[in-house]
Amino acid sequence: MIGMAEIKLTPEEIKAATEVLESGNLRQGQHCQAFEEEFAAKVGAKHAVTCANGSASLHMYYMAEMEPGDEVIVPAFTFIATATMPAVVGGKPLFCDIDPETFLMDLDHAETLITDKTKFISPVHLFGNVYNIDELTAFARKHNLKILWDAAQAHGGEFKGKDIGQFDNAVSYSFYPSKNMFVGEGGMVCTNDDDLAHKLKFLRSHGQTGKYYHEMLGLNYRMTDVEAAIGRKQLGRLDQMLDVRRRNKAIFDERLGQMNGVYPQKQTADTTHAVHLYCIRIVPEEFGVSRDDLSAALMEKEIHNGVHYPRGLHQQPVFEEMYGKQSLPATEKLCEEIIAIPVHHGLSEDDANAVIDAIEECHTKALNKAA
Ligand SMILES: Cc1ncc(COP(=O)(O)O)c(C=O)c1O
């Protein structure tokens, strides 16, 4: 069986977590503080603020920065939290169609969405594919927008050799088990903005600025020291895990590049991909069978795969009800054609080749049947 993720902790990570459990210091404490310092140093940001999960990191950012009625441009093709978190603080997500090759936001379409209420843009480095940060930042400056980079799927990604965690205005991460770093539940916001970092630290703890003294509305969005202790150890092996993901991606790029009807997500220029997921478009008329048939053929060989995502955010019932029906053709087409294949850090070179052999076999069978 080849799974979609490798979620095993190392003996060192288990030992670090056990030491915290034995100490009794279960809540947010010295490990959270050290994790923040080490993560900020690793990505090159001035501040890093731990929190309960990736959604919480987005939610806290909007609580700190957004006014009710403000609009934020988000990709229509992403995980729902990118759009629900601004909506729960009274903001409005504007769904942007995507580029069919990179699967990232199409800025020509984004341009058409701007109104005088548009105050934010939240680009998602989707599946680890990093935006052209210069281009996005120029777009945001032109329209006076703040940028919340959603890096839940992109730990270790780089633009022009710089880690994506250091770019303005803020960068949000998730440490959910399927992610490039996985501590259980956990999140982080990185920023170079002193005031924002200060605010986030209070927001995650009921807006408490002194003992039982509360200056703002807040939540309990704290990370625990158990998770932080795991995160600190894992940060030490992030590069090693990414090396394996990148090796697997290189094998896939090479072998799938030759195959008719298979279009891997195109990596943006000047970036280092964080290889969270390896996603391909299957064009049935060229490949011979549909995405769903390929998925079933892989499952038969016990090769897990997934559809990320089967519908655009604008097609989610909750948003259709809130904002009405919209049509975003590039997103909708991608939803029909996309499939993710295993690429994770636990996948050996042989496994990676076995995945491609199975795709190749499915393609060849389809061609022979058609002949
Ligand atoms: C793009 C994106 N943003 C936000 C999140 C939310 O993170 P979490 O599940 O840790 O709340 C995820 C998680 O899947 C994600 O993929």
pLDDT tens readout for residues 106-139: 999 999 999 999 999 999 999 999 999 999 999 9
Of 286, 252, 265, the residue nearest 338 (C-alpha):
265
* Residue in 88, 176, 277, 309 to alter for ligand 1 test, most ligand atoms within 8 A of Cβ: 176
Q: Which atom of ligand 1 lies nearest, measured to the CA of 53?
A: 10
pLDDT at 353: 98
Atom 14 of ligand 1 has which residue's CA nearest to it?
A: 79
Question: Stretch 57-82: mean pLDDT, rounded?
Answer: 98
pLDDT tens digits along 194-245: 999 999 999 999 999 999 999 999 999 999 999 999 999 999 999 999 999 9
CA of 56 to the centre of ligand 1 (A): 9
Which CATH fold would you assign to the domain 238-370? Aspartate Aminotransferase, domain 1 (3.90.1150)
Ligand 1 closest atom vs CA 126: 1
Provide, rounded to the nearest whole percent, the portion of the chain with pLDDT above 90. 98
Within 8 A by CB and 6+ apart from 217, the residues are: 63, 207
pLDDT computed for residue 64 by the predictor: 98
Sequence-ordered alpha helix ranges (H) in 187-237:
194-203, 225-235
Q: Indicate the angle between helix axes 225-235 and 30-43, nearest 10 degrees.
A: 30
Q: To test ligand 1's pocket by mutation, which of 50, 53, 55 has the most ligand atoms within 8 angstroms of CB?
A: 55
Q: Do residues 157 and 164 touch, judged by C-beta distance below 8 A?
A: yes
Per-residue pLDDT for 370 more than 90?
no
Q: Where are the domains of the chain?
A: 11-235, 238-370
pLDDT band at 58 (very low <50, low <70, confident <90, very high): very high
Position 46 scores a pLDDT of: 98
277 Cα–ligand 1 center, Å = 13
Q: Is the pLDDT of residue 258 over 90?
A: no
Q: What is the mean pLDDT of the chain?
A: 97
pLDDT on residue 8? 95
* H or E segment and range at residue 280: strand 278-282
Ligand 1 pocket mutation pick from 7, 62, 74, 79 by most atoms within 8 angstroms of CB: 79
CA of 168 to the centre of ligand 1 (A): 20
Mean pLDDT on 53-66: 98
Distance 57 CA to ligand 1 centre (A): 9
What residue ranges line ligand 1, CB within 6 angstroms? 53-55, 78-79, 81-82, 124, 150, 152-153, 174, 176, 187
Q: 0.95 exceeded by the pTM?
A: yes
Nearest residue to 187 via CA among 177, 176, 197, 198: 176
In terms of Cα–Cα distance, which of 166, 88, 95, 152 is closest to 124? 152
Q: What is the pLDDT of residue 371?
A: 82
- Order of all β-strands in the sheet with 262-264: 262-264, 278-282, 338-341
Q: Output phi, psi for 144, to 5 deg.
A: 60, 50
Query: What tens digit of pLDDT does each residue of 156-206 get?
Result: 999 999 999 999 999 999 999 999 999 999 999 999 999 999 999 999 999
pLDDT of residue 236: 98
φ, ψ of residue 208 in degrees (nearest 5):
-85, 115
In what helix (H) or strand (E) does residue 59 lie, and over which residues does it extend?
A: helix 54-65
| pLDDT tens-digit map of 4-34 | 999 999 999 999 999 999 999 999 999 999 9
pLDDT at 264 over 90: yes
Q: Is 32 exposed, middle or buried (0-12, 13-18, 19+ CB in 10 A)?
A: buried
Cα separation of 200 and 203, whole Å? 5
* 11-235 CATH: 3.40.640.10
Classified as helix, coil or strand, 313 is helix
Mean pLDDT, range 326-348, rounded to an integer: 98
- Distance between Cα 161 and ligand 1 center (Å): 25
